[in-house]
Amino acid sequence: MAVPLNLAVETEKAQALLQTFSTASLFASAGLGAFCFVADHFLTLPFIQHHLWLRALFDNTVHAIIGLWSWAIVIGLRKKSDFYEVILAGFLASVIDLDHFYMAGSLSIKAAVNLPHRPPLHCSTLIPALCFSLRLLMWACRLKDSWCSLPWMLFISLTSHHIRDGVRHGLWVCPFGNTAPISYWLYVTITATLPHLCSVLMYLTGTRDMISTKHGVAIDV
């Protein structure tokens, strides 16, 4: 009996992985890439560029939308709690820009966008460190499996933000310095495919199984 049961479990896992690349998720990813293109070009309009606060606000909003859209592709939207999750992902993708004001030591938007060095949360080396630390903290606090996706949410929110910023500044890989700026279409491609990469990594680490149990169904994203 053990062999058929194990076979059924493995079959269910394989189906869940294949659903990661379902038609709906691929359309959602294409829409995400299109949104990046439209939003970034909207940012270049003169009336946006001539108002510093408006430009910063819109730029940060785009970060938030990319973060929540990416996480929505990963988990799907089936329950009310799913909407709370994607909103949290969007918040995480945008809130890290507050470190500009922290480093500037001022609420002046001009000072915040003209820093001599990049602010601390924009160091890409911190992403795996923060995600792993959060996972350890959750394990130490013995949080329920329903929280198991938090490190991955943090990963996709921060990574999407850093990749988009990388078009202008490259990635800050401490202690090695900055990479060359990321080409625009590479940024769009990475952003559109990042949710699927995240889903595969979650599958390989067993996180998707826990989330499927949490949602009551095999996740179809």
DSSP 121-149: GGBTTHHHHHHHHHHHHHHHTT--GGGTT
Average pLDDT over residues 160-179: 93
Residue 24 inside a domain? The answer is yes
Residue 220 inside a domain? The answer is no
Binned at pLDDT 50, 70 and 90, residue 165 comes out as: very high
Residue 108 inside a domain? The answer is yes
Distance of CA 14 to the CA centre of its chain: 24
The mean pLDDT value of the chain amounts to 85
Residues 181/170, Cβ–Cβ less than 8 Å: yes
- Looking at residue 142, its pLDDT comes to 76
- Looking at residue 220, its pLDDT comes to 41
pTM equals: 0.86
Share of the chain above pLDDT 90, in %: 56
pLDDT in tens, 63-90: 999 999 999 999 887 777 788 999 999 9
Residue 67 inside a domain? The answer is yes
Q: How far apart are CA 81 and CA 149, in angstroms?
A: 13
pLDDT in tens, 79-121: 777 889 999 999 999 999 999 999 999 888 999 988 888 999 9
Give the number of C-alpha atoms closer than 13 A to the C-alpha of residue 221, restricted to the C-beta side: 29
Please enumerate in sequence order all residues whose Cβ is within 8 A of that of 62, keeping only pairs 6 or more positions apart, or say none. Answer: 36, 39, 40, 43, 164
Q: Phi and psi at residue 178, in whole multiples of 5°?
A: -100, 145
Residue 117 inside a domain? The answer is yes
- Looking at residue 21, its pLDDT comes to 67
pLDDT in tens, 172-201: 998 898 999 999 999 999 999 999 999 888
Domain of residue 193, residue span:
2-215
Question: How many distinct structural domains can be found in the chain?
Answer: 1
Binned at pLDDT 50, 70 and 90, residue 208 comes out as: low
Enter the tokens of residue 42.
Answer: 């909207």
Residue 221 inside a domain? The answer is no
Q: How far apart are CA 139 and CA 147, in angstroms?
A: 10
